[in-house]
Structure 1
C-alpha cells in the first residue's frame, strides 16, 4: 500500500473531477484555497481522505489529483489511474513505480493511459 497516490489528468475540468467524487465516494467537504487549487475530503470504505486538486500542475493542461492518504481504495498510482480513465475518459498519467525515498527509478519514467494506448513512457 502506498503512503499516498498522485495522478495527472489531461484537459479535465475540476468540476468534472468533483462530480466523479460525488458519484464514487461520499464527499464530506470542499474548499477552494486559490483559483487553481480545490481541496476536498472524501470518505472511502469508512476512511476520510484529503484530496488536493491542482490545475496547471504540469504545464497548462494537466491537473494533479493528490490523495493524501494510505487508505485509498487502490493498491498504487496505476490502479487509481485506470479507474479514473475509465470514469472520466481523459488521459491520465502517473509515476510508473510509485514514489520511494530511496528508489532508483527514473524520474522521467511515467505510465500513460489514453484512448489509444496504455503503458510506460518518458515524460520530460
Structure 2
C-alpha cells in the first residue's frame, strides 16, 4: 500500500472531488462540507483507492488529504501537490519526501506551492 499526503489551505467545498474527478474513475467523495472528516474512494487503473480529508491540520486553516492504494496517479507528494495546485489555485503544502515517522520535525522544510511559485519553507 502506497500513500500520498498533501495539505490544502482554506479548502473550498467540493474542490477535492472536482480535482480528483478528472484523475479517478468511480469517485465517491462527499466533500461539499469541509469542516469535518470525510472518507471516500475512487478507482485508478483498475485499483481501488481510499481518500481521506482531515480538516483542521496545522493551525486549522489546512486540510490534510490522504490518498492510499496499490497504484496511485502520482509518484510523489510533490507531483500530487502540483496537480492539486493547478486545479485549485490555493496554497498547497507537502513533505519533501525524506521524513520518516518518529523523526523530529522542528526544522523540517515543506514544499509550499502558491502564487509565488514552489518553495521549500519551514511550516510556521
Residue 69 of structure 1 aligns with which residue?
69
Shift of 1:21: 2.2
1:56 match: 56
C-alpha contact 1:91 1:113 (8 A) present in aligned 2: yes
1:24 and 2:23 are equivalent in the alignment:
yes
Q: Is residue 21–residue 27 contact of structure 2 (8 Å, CA) maintained in 1? A: no
8 Å CA contact retained: 1:14, 1:53 = no
Contact 1:84–1:92 (Cα < 8 Å) also in 2: yes
How far has the Cα of 1:104 moved from its partner?
A: 8.5
SS state at 1:24 partner: coil
1:61-85 per-position Cα deviation (integer Å, ceiling 9, x unaligned): 1011001224111111011101110
**Paired residues of 1:39 and 1:53 also in contact (CA < 8 A):** yes
* Equivalenced residues, count: 122
CA contact (8 A) 1:21 1:27 kept: no
- In 2: Cα distance, 1:58 partner to 1:101 partner: 17
C-alpha distance in 1 between matches for 2:106 and 2:78 = 16
| CA pair 54-67 structure 1, distance change in 2 beyond 3 A | same
Aligned-pair Cα RMSD in Å? 2.6
Specify every segment of 5 or more residues in structure 2 that has no aligned partner in the other structure, as ranges. Answer: none
- Give yes or no for the alignment of 1:80 onto 2:80: yes
| Offset at residue 86 of structure 1 (A) | 0.6
Question: In terms of mean alpha carbon deviation, does 104-113 or 84-93 score higher?
Answer: 104-113
Q: TM-score, normalised by structure 2?
A: 0.81
